[in-house]
Chain A
Amino acid sequence: MLHRKSNVPFSGTKEQEQALLKVIQELKDEKGALMPILQKAQDIYGYLPEEVQKIISDETGIPMEKIYGVATFYSQFSLSPKGKYRISVCLGTACYVKGSGDIYDKLMEKLGISGGECTPDGKFSLDACRCVGACGLAPVMMVNDDVYGRLTVDDIDDILAKYE
């Protein structure tokens, strides 16, 4: 598959673009500014589609491939939009030994998507994450900023229902 373009059409607004341009102007002369710019850009747009990376490239003169190479290296940068509800399941050691792998499998099955994907209606996206530091509550998952701990596979339906 050459040219990995997101199948979700880009819907950036003028305001978002203004905000991005402002960030770039503020940061671009700093040493090693690319990472902070990408982080802010992702804050503004929620992800880093081709259109956004192109603006960054045009404004900073950094080759787009370099930007893309950086964006695909770090797991926190996303090329596809995230769902309205972002589910992440901790697969850190503590959670893993307490069965978070099963929770993750169950979510994939329930939502009909794989990790890193977004449901077609844009509602849920699912990711695995590493330790969120709530090992005492293992196994743990997060939906946006809500944390659900001491989970069992049976809790999944109820949790999802809250967001339906």
Chain B
Amino acid sequence: MENINIKINGLDVSAPAGSTILEAAHLAGIKIPTLCYLKDINEIGACRMCVVEVKGARNLVAACMYPINEGMEVFTNTPKLIKSRKRTLQLMLSNHEKKCLECVRSGNCEFQELCKEYGVDDVNYFEGSENHYELDTSAAHMVRDNNKCILCRRCVAVCDKVQGVGVIGANNRGFDTAVGSAFEMGLGQTSCVSCGQCIAVCPVGALYEKDYTDEIIDAIADPDKYVVVQTAPAVRAALGEEFGYPMGTDVEGKMAAALRRLGFDKVFDTDWGADLTIVEEAHELVDRIQNGGVLPMITSCSPGWIKYCEHYFPDMTEHLSSCKSPQQMFGAMLKTYFAEKEGIDPKKIVSVSVMPCTAKKFEIGRDNENAAGVPDVDITITTRELARLIKRCGIEFTALPDEGFDDPMGESTGAGVIFGATGGVMEAALRTAVETLTGEELPKLDFTEVRGTEGIKEATYKVGGMDVKVAVASGLRNAKTLLEKVKAGEADYQFIEIMGCPGGCVNGGGQPQVSGHVRNFTDVRGIRASVLYKNDAAKAIRKSHENPAIKKLYEEYLGEPGSHKAHETLHTTYVKRTING
């Protein structure tokens, strides 16, 4: 592409045509502060933090939106700009609940960081009336605290544009503008799907998951409880970020060590549950293909996606695989199979999961997720909560040795680990389903067509003389596009993988928050996903149906995939909801 030459702070900078001032400055190693801007998602120029001076322009301009043109002269750090940004921060502060010490984001708040950078020395400089809002605690997974909201609207944009859900938006006008739901109803009354993407992008402490770290500390301390933890594949790909490791560091070993030191009775791996899911789901797919079941079959691992389907495509829930998610399968087997085997009363087991996901907090309370008559999973926390838990309990994460998971539910394959990236479930399922359908061993295990961070991916595979058409979507707006094609009869897939969060679980709503200025110039999903694919490639066993622990489970407990017992414990049901609650 053609390059354009401009001057920034007197330096010659060359950047591709179509770049914004912000992008050109980034190329030149100049940081312009942003708050509302999220590339491709929230380009609204509202917060006015990124104002710069352009020679000849009457007013300051927003660098995040302003396109460069040949010969343009830009200044990003004049005294006037530095003061302007400071005053804008102070204006925001004047209507912001400044309870920073008791805020969950204290220390990684983008607003706080900017106040520090710009030397805000008087938080009451523009003191005046403030808006006061009630906390919204109605949703299972999160709290909305508008008192801290700075109206950057990143959450609104991600909910509407990325997820196609749009249950939060700007209401009212002027100083009374507030992010909320229709008629100020609580999120729990809306068709919010609990994906938590809004939390992931919130620069401040206005949106946060309901925190269960203290419940875990109490459970572990209770001698009558047998506390078991499982960790989702994507957690190991991002947890390190909370402890200063560069993005893309695999901390599986340290995470297992930390969990053990926290005092869990068993440290297991959701990957085991993922392998089990594949065996059941592949069986279901083969059964649907061979016996004229409803096709395409759509994966059911992502609880955000499931809730979305129930609200927005209630007529398509028959397409959903009846398989529980890996977390729930794991929980079900923990309280039945493992409990029986170990002779533990399932009522005494506290089943804890660590997930990159906030929708899991909703999922554990669903109907038919209680194989042993008690909930399959009792407490689910996000990657962020785990980091908090580790810090609170005084565990020096970086000093830990690498350790493994416990047996038997810690044993997993490469197929289980790639669940955390978009296309991973599809690839894992294909590895098993193709071998099941053809009865032959696959020469090559990498289904690269379904890898990558694009929103929608399609592929066709020849399986024993039959074309198997598959599609993969992540992010619910993409899911909607795909489903509408299916509904309109424009696509004849047999199998679809859908993940609620864009890029899959690695970019889940429960993952460590990445500040806007990093996110805007980094392929967060790709880098985190690479951890999982590396992990997969290094595994000795890469097909779920070859996991010895899973084989043993079927031998000892379940019988065959799709057996009556499997159905009773590992499969679930869905409800039909409406787009308005």
Contact = CB atoms under 8 A, between A and B. Distances in A.
Contacts of A58: 578-580
A73 B185 CA distance: 17
B295 interface: no
Given A63-B160, A65-B167, A69-B169, A2 B136 contact: yes
Interface residues of A, number: 22
Interface string B146-190: 000000000000001000011111111100000011111110011
Given A57-B580, A64-B580, A66-B166, A72 B185 contact: no
Nearest to B184: A4
B166 A4 contact: no
Nearest to A49: B183
Nearest to B174: A73
Contact of B171 (A57, A68, A75): A68
A38 B180 CA distance: 20
Contact of A65 (B134, B173, B186, B190): B190
Contacts of B190: 64-65
Given A57-B580, A58-B579, A3 B183 contact: yes
Contacts of B166: 63, 65-66
Contacts of A68: 169, 171, 181-183
A3 B138 CA distance: 11
Contacts of B136: 2
Contact of B184 (A3, A57, A63, A67): A3
Nearest to A54: B580
A74 B578 CA distance: 28
Interface string A48-90: 0010011001100101111111001101000100000000000
B171 A63 contact: no
Contacts of A65: 166-169, 171, 180-182, 190
Given A58-B580, A65-B182, A1 B169 contact: no
Given A69-B170, A72-B172, A64 B134 contact: no
Nearest to B164: A63
A69 B172 CA distance: 7
A130 interface: no
Chain B's interface size range is 20 to 34
Most chain A beta-carbon neighbours within 10 Å: one of B134, B167, B182, B186: B182
A22 interface: no
A5 interface: yes
B580 A2 contact: no
A2 B579 contact: no
Interface string B205-241: 0000000000000000000000000000000000000
Contacts of B134: 1-2
**Residue picked from A4, A5, A58, A68, most chain B C-beta under 10 Å:** A68
A3 B189 contact: yes
B184 A64 contact: no
Nearest to B172: A72
Nearest to B312: A61
Nearest to B137: A2
A3 to B, nearest CB: 4
Interface string A3-18: 1110000000000000
Given A2-B138, A2-B186, A73 B173 contact: yes
Contact of A63 (B167, B180, B183, B186): B167
Contacts of A4: 183-184
A65 B160 CA distance: 10
A57 B185 CA distance: 15
Interface in A103-162: none
A40 B198 CA distance: 34
Given A3-B183, A65-B190, 6 more contacts: A3-B185, A63-B165, A66-B166, A69-B169, A73-B170, A75-B173
Interface of B: 134, 136, 138, 160, 165-173, 180-186, 189-190, 578-580
23 contacts: A1-B184, A2-B134, A2-B136, A3-B183, A3-B185, A3-B186, A4-B183, A50-B183, A63-B167, A63-B579, A64-B190, A64-B580, A65-B166, A65-B168, A65-B169, A65-B171, A66-B160, A68-B169, A68-B171, A68-B181, A68-B183, A72-B171, A73-B173
